[in-house]
Amino acid sequence: MRHLVFRLLLPLIGIAIGASAPAHAADGILYEVKGGVLAHDVPDLWSGTRLERGVTVNGEVAFAPSVDVLWGTIRPAVGGSLATDGGTSYAYADLHWQIGGPAGLFFGIGIGGAVHDGKLGPTAPDQKALGSRVLFHVPIEAGIEFADHYRVSVYFEHVSNGYFASPNEGLDNLGVRFGYRF
């Protein structure tokens, strides 16, 4: 299953590498490319107990098509979180709502789905039991834009099956991301 997650992430990496080319920016397809490092399976947030160890590398591409809603903008995004030390990795597709504030500040929240390579049922004490191969993905982000296109943010993401399957241990990652907005 880990190979499936890698196959899902490879096109994202290709998009991110090619995104700096003028042709992509001129097409108006991409809105932003982000990447960062997150603490993996942080305890005492949404999911509770920490079971998996390590660090997660996160990458995401937000697309330019958008809809204005409640002082903010909704955009589609795809991304992935690759865990180290044998932790659960996943690819996701979301809709993000983002609102801008004064002095380049921004806040965003989203909802979407994820496909993971982790365990479904109870296993070793250092692995989450997620109950379902397909999970909900809920990201929350707050940050600041500087130098007209660059962004830095604090990023939180939660994945779980939303009690549609059992068990539902969930997984929370928290860290810092850097982005480039076209």
| Sequence spans of domains, the chain | 2-181
Q: How far is CA 25 from CA 15, 159, 165, 171, 182, in A?
A: 11, 31, 41, 34, 6
Q: Which residues pair with 176 in a beta bridge?
A: 37, 154
The closest alpha carbon to 91, from 73, 116, 108, 112, belongs to 116
Whole-number Å distance between alpha carbons of 162 and 61: 25
Domain 2-181 part of CATH 3.40.50.10800: no
The closest alpha carbon to 39, from 164, 162, 133, 175, belongs to 175
**31: pLDDT confidence band, cut at 50, 70 and 90?**
very high
SS3 150: strand
pLDDT tens digits along 82-138: 998 889 999 999 999 999 999 999 999 999 999 999 989 887 788 889 999 999 999
Exposed, middle or buried by CB within 10 Å (0-12, 13-18, 19+), for 28?
A: exposed
**32 versus 51: which is more confidently predicted?**
32
Residue 164 has pLDDT above 80, yes or no: yes
Cβ atoms of 182 and 20 within 8 Å: the answer is no
Whole-number Å distance between alpha carbons of 40 and 98: 24
What pLDDT does 27 receive? 56
| Cis amide prior to 139 (ω within 30 degrees) | no
What pLDDT does 23 receive? 35
- Give the mean pLDDT of 10-19: 43
